[in-house]
Copies of this chain bind each other. A is one copy, B any other.
Amino acid sequence: MCGIVGITDAGGVSFPIYYALYALQHRGQESAGITTFDGMNLYKHKAQGLVAEVFDAGILDELKGNSGVGHVRYPTTGAKIPENIQPFYFTFKNRKFAIAHNGNLTNTWQLKEEYESRGQIFCTTTDTEIIGNIIADELTHSSSIQDAVLACMKKLEGSYSVALLVDDTIYAFRDPLGIRPLCFGKLNDGYIVCSESVAIDALNGEFLRDVRPGELIKINSEGITCTQVAESSGYSHCIFEYIYFARADSVIDGKLVYNVRRRIGQSLHLEAPVKSDIISPVPDSGIAHATGYSESSGIPYREGLIKNRYIGRTFIMPDQKARENAVRIKLNPVKGHIENKSVVLVDDSIVRGTTARRIIDIVRDAGAKEIHMRVGSPPIKAPCYLGVDMATRKELIASTRSQEEVCKHIGATSLHHVSIDSLIKATGLPPEDLCIGCLTGTYPIKIGEEKACPRCITYKSGTYQSALKEFD
């Protein structure tokens, strides 16, 4: 998962992109990058680390120009390779290009093979470079970026929200299923396109609307034009953006994420009520869901766990033998809220179950009589091939275990996952507009029985082998 942004502004773009990326930091903490264009040159800076670590005022001052793109990247194994940090930039026929991409192509391997057969070399191991290649290739027989983007979209399979800088113009486009979010807004003296609306808020801009599936947005100093370049049979919003990934204060495709989560919390109460003393979130991911449960049940919302806010990238976690202490150092139980109490603990999801078990241990040690776990997503049973880096199937605790087994494994008094129906209802979207592949194993794109990629990922359902970092 990643966050992207593209901005044109007559007053310079490096600082606005910085603040926008900062607002999108939750979409990727592994690395960050900005590329700008000043009419002559590309200026670029990217490195591992948080936005606030990668950039300083001196660096931003040197990123000159009135158009640019930025990117934050989710921690994956691949990202440790510095050349993979985005934006990806290149030159072609005296034009400067930079690409920021969020999503996951499912036919990268075939595309690379096709271009290598023509002598093309690859400097990175990212999907992003192949997008650049296809566009350049199209431009050898057409000078229209728009045509090239359309031709490119015809070749790409999978999810992609892209901000493409070509000299002083930003071309932003979203895959025909609209899997990953992308929206745009008006700034003081320009425009912004970005993964989530919170980036527009951070710049005090005016949210205009979401980019439509298959749509191409072109922004530069002359203004903005929107073209439906690819046919789209409708949305397949990623359900996990609503459950966990997006910021609660984002509005994605018309829905305030916080409200979706609060409604999920309400459903959790209605589906599995329990007589308890307090409703406590697992901070921060379960807060919105927990307020919903509390409102619906009338049981007081009270923080049973306080999160230490100073954990940084360089914090030294306790080693193996003291691993159980690791969670304790991040989350401190509030004994006075928990002791001799029946506690409903609300979190957004359970992936491997390890963290859930440790948190429940802590809450029990602090004296809770009962711990009722309520989870804001149905059991996750299948991997995501479209951009969320979940565990492999065999590590997904719900892929092979019943709810009772999971409850026992994590040590809860009771466990309830929200139902798929209630979840869909909470989004307020029609079921056919959602991708819920991770819950059902059925995806909006044909995946599986594909040719195996020897490098990193085998796209065969059931044997998915990811080198990507897990997030449980």
Enumerate chain A interface residues (CB-CB to B < 8 A). 15, 18-19, 22-23, 25-26, 29, 50-53, 55-57, 60, 83, 89-94, 97, 115-123, 125, 132-133, 136-137, 139-140, 198, 201-204, 247-249, 251, 256, 258-259, 262, 284, 287-288, 291, 294-295, 300-303, 306, 308-312, 314-316, 318, 325, 328-329, 332-337, 454-455
Complex copy number for this chain: 4
Cross-chain contact B312 with A52 (CB below 8 angstroms): yes
Q: State A52–B316 Cα separation when bound (angstroms).
A: 7
25 inter-chain pairs at a CB distance below 8 angstroms, sorted by A residue, are A15-B316, A15-B318, A19-B325, A50-B312, A52-B311, A83-B83, A90-B123, A92-B121, A93-B116, A119-B139, A198-B332, A202-B329, A203-B325, A204-B325, A248-B334, A249-B306, A249-B334, A256-B335, A256-B336, A258-B303, A258-B306, A259-B336, A262-B302, A288-B303, A294-B301
Cross-chain contact B247 with A316 (CB below 8 angstroms): no
Cross-chain contact B118 with A119 (CB below 8 angstroms): yes
Q: State A288–B60 Cα separation when bound (angstroms).
A: 38
CB distance from A7 to the nearest CB of B (A): 15
Please indicate the chain B residues that have their CB under 8 angstroms from the CB of A51 in the complex: 310
Please indicate the chain B residues that have their CB under 8 angstroms from the CB of A52 in the complex: 310-312, 314-316
CB distance from A346 to the nearest CB of B (A): 14
Q: State A133–B256 Cα separation when bound (angstroms).
A: 49
Please indicate the chain B residues that have their CB under 8 angstroms from the CB of A315 in the complex: 22, 52
Cross-chain contact B25 with A310 (CB below 8 angstroms): yes
| Interface residues of A, dominant DSSP | mixed
Cross-chain contact A120 with B119 (CB below 8 angstroms): yes
Please indicate the chain B residues that have their CB under 8 angstroms from the CB of A97 in the complex: 121
Please indicate the chain B residues that have their CB under 8 angstroms from the CB of A249 in the complex: 306, 332-334
Residue among B18, B94, B316 making CB contact with A316, cutoff 8 Å: B18
Cross-chain contact B122 with A91 (CB below 8 angstroms): yes
Cross-chain contact B50 with A316 (CB below 8 angstroms): no
CB distance from A201 to the nearest CB of B (A): 5
Please indicate the chain B residues that have their CB under 8 angstroms from the CB of A125 in the complex: 91
Q: State A284–B198 Cα separation when bound (angstroms).
A: 19
Chain B: CB-nearest residue to A140: B119
Question: Given A56-B314, A89-B123, A123-B89, A329 and B136 touching (CB < 8 A)?
Answer: no
Cross-chain contact A303 with B328 (CB below 8 angstroms): no
Chain B: CB-nearest residue to A81: B44
CB distance from A315 to the nearest CB of B (A): 4
CB distance from A251 to the nearest CB of B (A): 7
Chain B: CB-nearest residue to A337: B258
